[in-house]
Amino acid sequence: MHNEHHFIDVSQLQVGIYVHLDLGWMDHPFTLSNFKVKDEEQISIIKKTGLTKLRYDPKRSDCQPLPVKVNTPATAEIVEKETQSIPAPANSVDNAKQRLKELHQAINVCERKFINTSNIARQVTRNILTDSKASIEQAAVIVNDLVDTALMEGDVAVHALNGNRSSDANYIHPLNVTVLALIMAKSINMSKEDARLLGMAALFHDIGKAEISDKILLKKDPLTKSEQSHFEQHSEMGARMAQEVGLPVRIGKIIMQHHEHADGSGYPKHLRSEQTDPFARLIAIVNGYDNLCNPNNIALAKTPYEALAHMYASQRAKYDESLLKRLIKSLGIYPPGSIVQLSTGSYATVISVNPNKPLRPFVMVHDPLTDRHEPQIIDLREEPSISINACLRPSQLPADVLEYLNPRKRVSYFIDLDLSNAEDSQA
């Protein structure tokens, strides 16, 4: 499939043009990076971003771009043909096959570890009251293993589980929150001792929900005022339970505060940022992110890309902004679990982020000629001629692509080795 990119000079912009801003979220104030320009104020803001050339979609635009000014530089060429990738030398084909095999092995190992960990995490949170000593010991084993992985030297990647073994049934909110919290711990150079305490607090942050009825916990429609009031008690209930089962005092405090917001709009005590434990502020962010991606009502789920963009554009006041920026940096511009369209026209799922190259993640590519159980995986760092053009929702995929990529309704995260070091791990 031949794919053309349509570009205009920023001076050609007018209301009604559908644009793609090829920038990170922190470099522009809009909720999404692609949208239809609705007024002159938006045009003014776009011009201030420093972009001289804009990618735009003629089919989704209401009008044509303004005429090119006579003195416009060459970057204003309306249509740019995609650079054709250079065929790989014959002797690199075997290397590529070996590399793909190693990547599949690394992903399978990660998936097996994830399933085992998710099963234990489910038992731990379920049995914390009935067998608290064993549950805390099992939790410590899980957390210590994740901390050792997360804080190891070198790059550690967050993986979105999308393979053949795991399923939506393996998704566990407390485990997701723990994994994401520990990735944040890595980004701020937290000590192992602190990271272990943070991990335990994250794994047990919702234990108070054991005292909330399933009718409320599983409800897909918005909660009534009285239901919401009852639901909000889970923070205080959890803090009390933490004390009863012998968890450290600080963990109880973090559980109590994990729904407080930086601007004082949270609960239960409407504390502001400086009044809360730093670990509670961190867990509040990753908890908020996972709840946007994996709500009770799947129909309301945001893609990982949308969730981070929404938090930064619309919810910044609720969170510690420096920590929110770290989350975005840790998960990348295209977080694991995102569905994307590549510059080749192909569709793909982001399976892992390259920590130091957030625009160049690992992607699993839709290729009808390749067995979907052994799909093609590309490290975009190694393919400079291929880039990501757009982030999509599953509903935007053609039916055959949706079946092939098989995106999970719930996004599960796990920490494992950076896939770029996969060959070392197999040695």
pLDDT value at 250 more than 70: yes
Mean pLDDT of 314-332: 91
Q: Residue 28 — pLDDT band, cuts 50, 70, 90?
A: confident
Distance (Å, whole) CA 377 – CA 19: 29
Query: Which position has the higher pLDDT, 109 or 180?
Result: 180
Contacts with 194 (C-beta within 8 Å, 6 or more apart), sequence order: 185, 279
Query: Which position has the higher pLDDT, 95 or 132?
Result: 132
Query: Which position has the higher pLDDT, 424 or 332?
Result: 332
Mean pLDDT of 240-262: 96
Mean pLDDT of 181-194: 92
Mean pLDDT of 38-50: 88
* pLDDT tens per residue, range 340-354: 999 999 999 998 887
* pLDDT tens per residue, range 110-125: 888 888 899 999 999 8
Residue 360: count of CB within 10 angstroms of its CB: 22
Query: Which position has the higher pLDDT, 137 or 5?
Result: 137
Q: Residue 31 — pLDDT band, cuts 50, 70, 90?
A: low
Side-by-side strand order, sheet with 18-20:
34-36, 18-20, 53-56, 4-9, 79-81
pLDDT at residue 83 in the model: 27
* pLDDT tens per residue, range 359-389: 888 899 998 888 877 888 888 988 889 999 9
Q: With beta carbons less than 8 A apart as the criterion, state whether 176 and 418 touch.
A: no
pLDDT at residue 86 in the model: 36
CA atoms within 13 A on the CB side of 28: 24
Q: With beta carbons less than 8 A apart as the criterion, state whether 220 and 296 touch.
A: yes
Measuring CA to CA, which residue among 120, 157, 160, 248 is closest to residue 196?
A: 248
Q: With beta carbons less than 8 A apart as the criterion, state whether 276 and 290 touch.
A: no
Distance set, CA 129 to CA 13, 202, 215, 227 (Å)? 61, 17, 21, 24
Rounded to 5 degrees, what angle do the CA atoms 74, 77, 80 make? Answer: 120
pLDDT value at 129 more than 80: yes
List, in sequence order, the alpha helices (H) in 66-188. 93-126, 132-150, 173-187
Mean pLDDT of 48-54: 84
Query: Which position has the higher pLDDT, 425 or 211?
Result: 211
pLDDT at residue 138 in the model: 93
DSSP 316: G
DSSP 327: H
Q: Residue 245 — pLDDT band, cuts 50, 70, 90?
A: very high
pLDDT at residue 70 in the model: 41
- The chain-wide mean pLDDT, for the chain, equals 84
Tokens representing residue 210 in the block: 């054991």
pLDDT value at 8 more than 70: yes
Bond from prior residue into 268 cis (ω within 30 degrees of 0):
yes
Mean pLDDT of 3-20: 83
Tokens representing residue 243 in the block: 């004390």
CATH superfamily of the domain spanning 97-427: Hypothetical protein af1432 (1.10.3210.10)
Query: Which position has the higher pLDDT, 396 or 105?
Result: 396
**Residues 269, 273, 279, 282, CA torsion sign:** positive
The SS3 call for residue 389 is strand
pLDDT at residue 424 in the model: 45
pLDDT value at 2 more than 50: no
The share of the chain scoring above pLDDT 70, in percent, equals 86
pLDDT at residue 71 in the model: 38
Distance (Å, whole) CA 34 – CA 57: 9
Mean pLDDT of 215-241: 94
pLDDT at residue 99 in the model: 75
First-to-last CA distance in the chain? 38
* pLDDT tens per residue, range 134-180: 999 999 999 999 998 888 756 666 888 876 666 777 889 999 999 99
Query: Which position has the higher pLDDT, 421 or 239?
Result: 239
pLDDT value at 101 more than 90: no
Contacts with 270 (C-beta within 8 Å, 6 or more apart), sequence order: 260, 264
pLDDT at residue 155 in the model: 65
Q: Residue 20 — pLDDT band, cuts 50, 70, 90?
A: confident
Distance (Å, whole) CA 52 – CA 415: 39
Distance (Å, whole) CA 3 – CA 342: 10
* pLDDT tens per residue, range 62-95: 888 888 654 333 222 212 322 233 344 444 556 7
Residue 128: count of CB within 10 angstroms of its CB: 24
Domain ranges within the chain, ordered by starting residue: 4-81, 97-427
Distance (Å, whole) CA 162 – CA 194: 31
pLDDT at residue 324 in the model: 92
